[in-house]
Amino acid sequence: MPHARQHAHLHQQTRTRERRHQLAHEAARLMAEGGIRDYHQAKLKAAERLGIFDDASLPRNREIEDALREYQRLFQRDNVVAVRARREAALRALEFFRAFEPRLVGPVLEGTADGRSPVTLHLYSDDPDAAPRFLDQHGIPAEARSRRLRLDRERIGDFPVWVFSAEDIAFDITVLPLDVLRQAPLSSLEEKPMRRASASQLRQLLADDEIEGYERGDG
């Protein structure tokens, strides 16, 4: 009997893994083709479509992001071009904003951006007026917004955001205090510091992408 119970347990684990995989890929497809931006919404819609409702089978946001990246690479080759163009524009923006210790974050860095995705940057300054003043000095009209970010387990704050367009690409810039430079805010995908890249790190990523593209035969 113990052997039968163990076999049933393993079978259940395998079924759950398969369902998670199915749901992650269906959610990714919905995001890629249906324009859904929210991971949680895509996950619930995928579960409804596939008739899978047990919580254990629901994939993590990071699993959906991985599946989305794979889906775009296989079925939406234009997105590879969109990501590359936005990463190159992001590098120029990081150099332009270098006085603010800028970092690239979000879908452009993660490789899940498409032709509608903005380049999302974090700038760091203890003077909240420094960034808009800098934009104004360079004749860049920008729209003011705000964004709520979780800095760590205890701290949540609302921070100024500036949105503008350059090179036919949207830019979304959040200004954070200098002390936040030590550790990135927590990702909304998972309760861990979000991935971010400096200009030198992005330059290396672009070089790696180029090599990978040649190896795949893209170049």
- Same domain for 54 and 140, yes or no, is no
Q: How many percent of the chain have pLDDT more than 70?
A: 90
Q: Is the pLDDT of residue 167 over 80?
A: yes
Beta strands in 13-126 (DSSP E): 103-105, 119-124
- Output the CA–CA distances (angstroms, integers) from residue 122 to 65, 117, 147, 149, 213, in the order listed: 21, 16, 12, 12, 28
Is there a contact between 113 and 142 (Cβ–Cβ < 8 Å)?
Answer: no
The domain boundary, picked from 56, 75, 94, lies at 75
Instruction: Please check whether residues 43 and 103 belong to one and the same domain.
Output: no
Same-domain check for residues 111 and 44: no
Model pLDDT, residue 200: 97
Task: Please report where in the chains the tokens 């830019």 appear, as a residue.
Answer: 171
> Do 135 and 70 have their domain in common?
no
Residues 56 and 86 both lie in one domain? no
The set of residues, in sequence order, having a beta carbon less than 8 Å from that of 74 and lying 6+ positions away, is none
Same structural domain, 134 and 33? no
Instruction: Tell me the residue range of the domain where 18 lies.
Output: 2-75
Cα distance between residue 41 and residue 135, in whole Å: 35
Q: What confidence score (pLDDT) does residue 58 get?
A: 85
66 and 126 housed in the same domain: no
The model's pTM is: 0.75
Contacts of 20 (CB under 8 A, 6+ apart): 57, 58, 59, 63
pLDDT of residue 218: 56
Considering the domain architecture, whether residues 40 and 88 belong to the same structural domain is answered as no
Task: Give the pLDDT confidence of 42-70 residue by residue, as tens digits.
Answer: 888 888 888 888 888 788 888 888 888 78
What is the tally of structural domains in the chain?
2
pLDDT of 2 above 70 = no
Q: How far is CA 126 from CA 141, 181, 185, in A?
A: 22, 11, 16
Same domain for 82 and 70? no
List b or e across 107-118, with b for residues whose CB sees 16 or more CB atoms inside 10 angstroms. Answer: bbbbbbbbeebb
What CATH number should be reported for the domain holding residue 122?
Answer: 3.30.460.10
Q: For 180-198, what is each residue's pLDDT tens digit?
A: 999 999 988 778 899 999 9
Q: Helices 2-34 and 39-50, interaxial angle, to 10°?
A: 120
Cβ atoms within 10 Å, residue 91: 19
pLDDT above 90: percentage of residues in the chain: 48
> Does 56 share its domain with 85?
no
Nearest to 109 by CA among 199, 4, 217, 5: 199
Q: Domain ends where: 52, 75, 98?
A: 75
User: Which of 75, 91, 109 delimits the end of a domain?
Assistant: 75
Confidence of residue 10 (pLDDT cuts 50, 70, 90): confident
Q: Kindly give, in sequence order, each residue whose CB lies less than 8 Å from that of residue 21, ignoring residues fewer than 6 positions away.
A: 59
CA–CA separation, 194 vs 200, rounded Å? Answer: 18
Partnered with residue 170 across adjacent β-strands are 165
CA distance 196 to 109: 7
